[in-house]
Amino acid sequence: MSQNILQEKHQLGIGGVAIGTAFNDISDEQSFEILKTAWNSGIRYFDTSPWYGLTKSERRFGDFLADKKRSDFVFSTKVGRLFNEVLPSEVPPTMWKKPLNFDFKHDYTGDGVKRSIEESLRRTGLESIDIIYIHDLSEDQVGDRYPYFLKQARQGAFKVLSELRDQGVIKAWGMGVNKIEPILDCINSADPDICLSATQYSILEHEDAVDRLLPAVKKAGVKLVSGAGYNSGFVTGRDRYNYKDVIPKGMIEKRDRINKIAQDYGISIIDAALHFVLSANEFVSIIPGAGDSKQVISNIESLNTQIPKDFWYELKSEGLIYKNAETPY
């Protein structure tokens, strides 16, 4: 299995949800500036998906990376949905503020995965893709069809991606999901290398992942990438939690208390949130999205911030961090 594709220099990457117009209608020019700032700041891991903006984000990443030496960056995208162009009036309602004119269907078959990869290569213009994540194969996305699609993936996507990795077409593959169970199901029936875990491990919510996810991936030799390590902006003060408008009970108070303690130590909750995720040995990278260049720079500054060890002791003593969670020091 290819476990070392993301090195220490890739600890901080950039995700493509915001560039796909998840929260605001970001223009092509704005997205280019965001990616340019990331590149000029030393970021070399770029993650996106054809789902983001109904292929818009993937195209934007490809346009930006077109003149970059392919060996200078790591690029990941996702499979699990196939897209067909439709009239503007036929575009389905989604979370995207200004998607392209496409409809989609879930498809985790072997042929579907091959087609998805071919189309991603065509959209991005890149000669290769490093990591393929099987996207949104989880109950929160496919509902009670999860067993059906999991069986489809076991017979199709899992096998095909292992073959493509072994042939050197891709370097690694795994799940890209918002829940723990799909990663555990994949590990139990296939040989993934690296999984993108979104919303399950953050400074605010991590207990279940500590008890179930981290031990399982460690035993299997699978590494993790953190998506939504800021709970889709809630940590930074946004009025949303894990891409939804409903804030879990008590979470605002918890965030504000951690933020107050952080300020007492001369740091920010964003600094703490980033370092908390990366302190877990299983996580090799965190890929926060960015809606503007300032957010990219803020993430770089957070990565380079030194956090006093007493800060972590205080959070644990107040029960704000799970007693079994890893922290720096």
In tens, the pLDDT along 118-139 reads: 999 999 999 999 999 999 999 9
pLDDT band at 4 (very low <50, low <70, confident <90, very high): confident
Residue 111 burial class via C-beta count within 10 angstroms: exposed 0-12, middle 13-18, buried 19 and up: exposed
The catalytic position among 52, 133, 146, 230 is 52
Beta strands at 81-85 and 102-106: parallel, antiparallel or unpaired: antiparallel
Mean pLDDT of 232-245: 90
Tokens of 179: 């829940």
pLDDT band at 216 (very low <50, low <70, confident <90, very high): very high
Tens of pLDDT, residue by residue over 22-48, are 999 999 999 999 999 999 999 999 999
Task: Return the bridge partners of 194, or none.
Answer: 223
For the domain spanning 9-318, the CATH number is: 3.20.20.100
- Rounded alpha-carbon distances, angstroms, from residue 207 to 40, 200, 271, 273: 36, 9, 20, 15
Domain positions in the chain are: 9-318
Question: Could you identify the residue written with the tokens 């050197």?
Answer: 168
The catalytic position among 47, 130, 136, 193 is 47
DSSP letters of 277-312?
Answer: HHHSTTEEEE----SSHHHHHHHHHHHT----HHHH
The catalytic position among 28, 67, 68, 78 is 78
Q: Please confirm, yes or no, whether 52 is among the known catalytic residues.
A: yes
Among residues 168, 199, 202, which one has the least CA distance to residue 183?
199
Q: Please confirm, yes or no, whether 47 is among the known catalytic residues.
A: yes
- Rounded to two decimals, what is the model's pTM? 0.96
Inform me whether the pLDDT recorded for 104 exceeds 90. Answer: yes
Q: What is the pLDDT of residue 1?
A: 44
